A and B are shown apart, each in its own frame.
Chain A
Amino acid sequence: MNAKIKIRNLQKKFGSKTVLDNLSLEIFENESLAIIGESGSGKSVLTKCINGLTEYNEGKIIYENSYDVKNLKTEEKRLHISKFGVLFQNSALFDSLNVEKNIFFSCSEKKDFSILRDVGLDKSILSKMPAEISVGVQKRVGLARAIMSKPKILIFDEPTTGLDPVIADQINKLIRGLVIKKKLTTITITHDMKSVYEYADKVAFIKNGKIEWYGQVKQLKNCKNIYMKNFISGKI
């Protein structure tokens, strides 16, 4: 199978601090990849390198065997970025716009309100401002907004962090429904092993700026990597 995104020897620095170092990874079409790792290990930065929101220092990110993200000109970069739909870590809803304008931000034609049912929202929410709705509902709105632009790849940055277990479970089920139903390529960053078991096909574990472990979810059970085992069981 051909990789949709091929990352080779990626390095990303902030000033003198190296966050990602010599990282290689492949992301396949119609597959759901979970990226796990400690807080501050560079998971969010990695996805921002992939979708072109951040410049990286060294290495290659090849999209569909056709171009390196690093070499894109302004207009091509804009096109590349818009191939991704992102549910940001704190939803990143536009707080000066109401829910309706947030969800349909990028669509100029007729508004398709069936999206609301897909993410489990009621029409009454449309006129509310982001500050007036709960975090769980904000995630649903962020999800709807990310899907609306019909992206080729979806990125979920910690979709369940900061939610209570019940709501977290609902969001996990929602994402699973969307991922399986639409056969989308997705990248999920998470600390939550429940999310991984719920809908991921493959898992990549980041440590010290590298991929420490990579494999199928079903291989997790008898994984030998000590760091990975500790991470799953929550030990240090």
Chain B
Amino acid sequence: MQNFFTNLLYLPKNIGRLTYFFFDSIGFKFIFFLKCIKSCFTPDYYPDLVLKQIIKIGYNSLPVVGMTAIFTGMVLALQSYTGFSRFSAESAIPNVVVLSITRELSPVLAGLMVAGRAGAAIAAEIGTMKVTEQIDALKTLSTNPLNYLVAPRIIAGLISLPFLVFVGDIVGVFGGYLICVYVLNFNPEVFLVNIFNFVEFIDVFSGLVKASVFGLIITFMGCYHGFHASGGAQGVGLATTYSVVSSSIMILLFNYILTSIFFQI
């Protein structure tokens, strides 16, 4: 009989436990987030480290983001052609390309790419510093690890991602242009005029705002998981995985939220 009740209680008990851990970890992350943001506005400042991180997170991600954008633009043009040609709406292809790229695809794909590249690197680097006591060493040398490690990365993420996405916008549209002009035999001038007449400030701007938010998410998640790594190399591996997975999900979630804010129907 007792066994029966224990089994009966198993499910609610676990649901309760998981709910508790869920909110506990959100609260924990939120407090760490506030500390990180505060560290961006309190001395000491390390401008040279910010620059170094902009190069690492932004500049070094240019090839990956560029490649992603150009192929996405090309595929987009091809796919919309197969669809639109059925009811002779080919002239809408440039519009579809530029809207999808600037509003959604460039920010989201750049975000995911940078999460895999730079976010993982941040988690691994800070995680290694944590498990090898380098973070403790920073503290004994009167250096606040949040100011020294986290703030430069977060600032660099906030600045770099919009630049990356802007480049992605241009390259992505160029990919569409290549397909339209050289494969589908569009008139190049018509394509360009079409795009410049159609695209609005808000299309590009919303994408850049999203990019900044994604930059914040990626760098914060990398730092958070790195800072809470424990247990040697295995712990660093886990931190890296968590950082990539959680920032990817957060990017998709916030992409939805931001789209619904920017383009309320």
Contacts and interface: CB of A to CB of B under 8 A. Distances in A.
Interface string B139-163: 1111110000000000000000000
Interface string A26-69: 00000000000000000000001001010000000000000000
Interface stretch (A90-98, A116-124, A186-194): A90-98
A90 B133 contact: yes
A85 B140 contact: yes
A105 interface: yes
Nearest to B140: A86
Contact of A149 (B129, B132, B134, B141): B141
Instruction: For chain B, give the interface size range.
Output: 10 to 19
Contacts of A51: 140
Give the one of A53, A92, A96, A105 with max B CB within 10 A: A92
A88 B136 contact: yes
Interface stretch (A76-84, A171-179, A199-207): A76-84
A86 B137 contact: yes
A96 B134 CA distance: 11
Contacts, number: 52
Contact of A82 (B128, B133, B134, B141): B141
Interface residues of A, number: 23
Contacts of A78: 139, 142, 144
A219 interface: no
Nearest to B135: A92
Q: Is the interface of A mostly helix, strand, loop or mixed?
A: loop
Contacts of A84: 140
A89 B133 contact: yes
Contacts of A106: 141-143
B142 A82 contact: yes
Contacts of A89: 133
A105 B140 CA distance: 11
29 contacts: A48-B136, A53-B136, A53-B140, A78-B139, A78-B142, A81-B139, A82-B141, A84-B140, A85-B140, A88-B136, A88-B137, A89-B133, A90-B133, A92-B133, A92-B134, A92-B136, A92-B137, A93-B134, A94-B134, A94-B137, A94-B138, A95-B128, A95-B134, A96-B125, A105-B141, A105-B143, A106-B141, A106-B142, A145-B141
A98 B246 CA distance: 33
A88 B139 contact: no
